[in-house]
Structure 1
Amino acid sequence: MPNETWEIVETADALRRAVARRVTAHGVTRSQWRVLARISKEPGLRQVDLAERLDMEPIVLCRIVDKLEESGFVERQRDPADRRAWRLVLTAKAAPVIEELHAVAAELAAEAFAGMTPSQIEQMRSALATVRDNVAEGGRNRKALGA
């Protein structure tokens, strides 16, 4: 594995572990946090679409949503266009948890990027976005470049 790929994978793993440690102190798992965060960004998302966005098996997501629903953080609503589908929305009870989790994320970001200038952080974000796009496109950019 090239050093660049290794560094990105190791960094992602370290960030995942740090997130998991911090969010469990707030009563949710890392997976639950991912679900809550995505629903807060895209309220009313269909459960099947959420599974796809999170790269999660639908049955695994269903179990996570079940637990979040039991906790009173998420509500399933019938999709008016498809009776078989569920749309997911956060409840009022989830609002303070979402605020806490945003604070946790901001704190972690401050620690992770300590010593970096805003310009360096923006360059890194841009470079990582390019990497994600290249991987998501299945190497289409390589073909365009004649590689």
Structure 2
Amino acid sequence: MNKNFDKKFDKSLGFAIHDVARLLRWSFDRQSQEIGLTRAQWSVLAHLHCGDGIQQKTLAQLMDIKPITLARHLDRLEVEAWIERRDDPDDRRAKRVYLNPKATSVIETLSRLGQKVRKQAMTGISAEEEEQFMQTLLRIRSNLCMNDAGEHNNQCSTEDDEQ
């Protein structure tokens, strides 16, 4: 990368967070290639692991992707028997998405891999520094989840307020 560019943006919060996120994704992707899931697919599985049986529309909102994009991911995951879609008993127009048992072991594998990448990223950082860093990031997220009028921003899920 251009050294002048690096120096100019080294102190930029947005660029630093973006670059760290990019490197975390790259490291995770590189180490998870043998599993045979794309990042988008494992993201779907991870979201379902936290909220199995969620409506397809809500899942798209949580993942910040278009419903048609999610539908394509779900089609592929369903063909490979990672997930299944069922009719919503409360809304006949909606579908709910569930993990299949096959997904449990891969989620555990991906979780261990995520812990490994996190450990690599936090090398040389004390537990206290890590805790302070996380608290700072959560405070920044909370600040950004409120609009100028002090109301909850619709870009944030309701869980953001509870953390």
Task: Tell whether the structures are fold-level matches, with TM greater than 0.5.
Answer: yes
Aligned to 1:145: none
- Listed as ranges, the gaps of 5+ residues in structure 2 are 1-8, 151-163
Equivalent of residue 110 in structure 1, options 103, 119, 126: 119
Q: Relative to structure 1, is the Cα distance of residues 14 and 139 closer, same or farther in structure 2, using a 3 angstrom cutoff? A: farther
TM-score for both structures, normalised by structure 1: 0.88
Instruction: Give distance in 1, aligned partners of 2:28 and 2:74.
Output: 19
- The alignment partner of 1:25 has SS state of helix
Percent identity over paired residues: 34
TM-score for both structures, normalised by structure 2: 0.80
Letter paired with 1:128 = L
1:49 aligns with 2:58: yes
Q: CA RMSD in A?
A: 1.6
Letter paired with 2:85 = R
In the TM superposition, residue 134 of structure 1 has moved relative to its aligned partner by 2.1
Equivalent of residue 100 in structure 1, options 90, 103, 109: 109
- Listed as ranges, the gaps of 5+ residues in structure 1 are 142-147
Equivalent of residue 7 in structure 1, options 16, 20, 41: 16
Aligned to 1:135: 144
Aligned to 1:20: 29
**Structure 1 contact 134–140 (Cα < 8 Å) conserved:** no
Q: Relative to structure 1, is the Cα distance of residues 18 and 138 closer, same or farther in structure 2, using a 3 angstrom cutoff? A: farther
